[in-house]
Amino acid sequence: MLKVGVLASGRGTNLQAIIDASEKKMINAEVVVVVSDNEKAFALERAKKHGIDAYFIDASNKEKHEKKIDEIFRNYDVGLAVGAGYMRVLSPWFIKRWYGKIINIHPSLLPSFKGIDAQRQALEYGVKLAGCTTHFMDEKPDHGPIILQAAIRVLPDDDRDKLAERILKVEHQILPRSIDLFEKKRLIIEGRKVKILPGDSWLPKYSYPDVLYSYGY
């Protein structure tokens, strides 16, 4: 079974989606450890509730912070690291050590609206389609090779929170599915692109109408 280490800074609903998919056996993967840079992150509580080891690691010294994460992930034999609302930019040192084994979820259709509060950025820009993206992390934030994307409509009465909530529901699908594809060795990184090898699909069993899921979902 694939061992997953999760980095999270906040409420941890994406972490929860991974835990739920694992407990329901939708993915042959389990979260073995959760690390947060925020002592009060609800993600840490969620982990503990499910008997998963969880660590707060102070980030006032970035180098020490990342060395500790690296050490913990190696001690837990983590095969895939997942950024699930981890609000820091990882250093090139860390990325090099984990490249190809570290993914992230971002609440926009990349490369649009990188960085903080992507949903508000999208709304204020006036886009008509919004969505989310999973990608392998590289040295630039929200930049690495894209694994999956899902698009939803922006509705006339959307505000930031309504839009974010609908995007989040789909994040909770494409993140576990991306882990599933990784575990099944169906993701081949070719430069900037990720080739997805043919196989099963989650579309028939776990999709919403009005959402456009990228190939591989």
Hey, which residues does 31 pair with through a beta bridge?
4
Q: With binding defined as CB under 6 A, does residue 84 bind ligand GRF?
A: yes
Q: Which of residues 148-177 bind ligand GRF (CB under 6 A)?
A: 168, 171
Q: With binding defined as CB under 6 A, does residue 106 bind ligand GRF?
A: yes
Question: Cα–Cα distances in Å, from 183 out to 69, 95, 162, 172?
Answer: 22, 20, 33, 17
Q: Which of 12, 131, 144, 176 binds ligand GRF (CB under 6 A)?
A: 12
Q: With binding defined as CB under 6 A, does residue 135 bind ligand GRF?
A: no
* Nearest residue relative to ligand GRF (C-beta): 85
Three-class secondary structure of residue 48 per DSSP: helix
- Count residues near ligand GRF (CB under 6 A): 13
Q: Which of residues 21-80 bind ligand GRF (CB under 6 A)?
A: none
Which of 65, 106, 135, 172 is catalytic? The answer is 106
**Burial letters 12-25, b for 16+ CB under 10 A, else e:** bbbbbbbbebbeee
Q: Is the peptide bond before 111 cis (omega within 30 degrees of 0)?
A: yes
Span interacting with ligand GRF, options 12-20, 51-59, 72-80, 182-190, rule CB under 6 A: 12-20
CB of 130 to ligand GRF, least distance (A): 12
Three-class secondary structure of residue 198 per DSSP: coil
- Say if residues 94 and 84 touch (Cβ distance below 8 Å): no
Name the DSSP class of 174: H
Q: With binding defined as CB under 6 A, does residue 142 bind ligand GRF?
A: no
Identify whether 106 is a catalytic site residue: yes
Q: Contact residues for ligand GRF (CB under 6 A)?
A: 8, 10-14, 84-85, 105-107, 168, 171
Q: Known catalytic residues?
A: 106
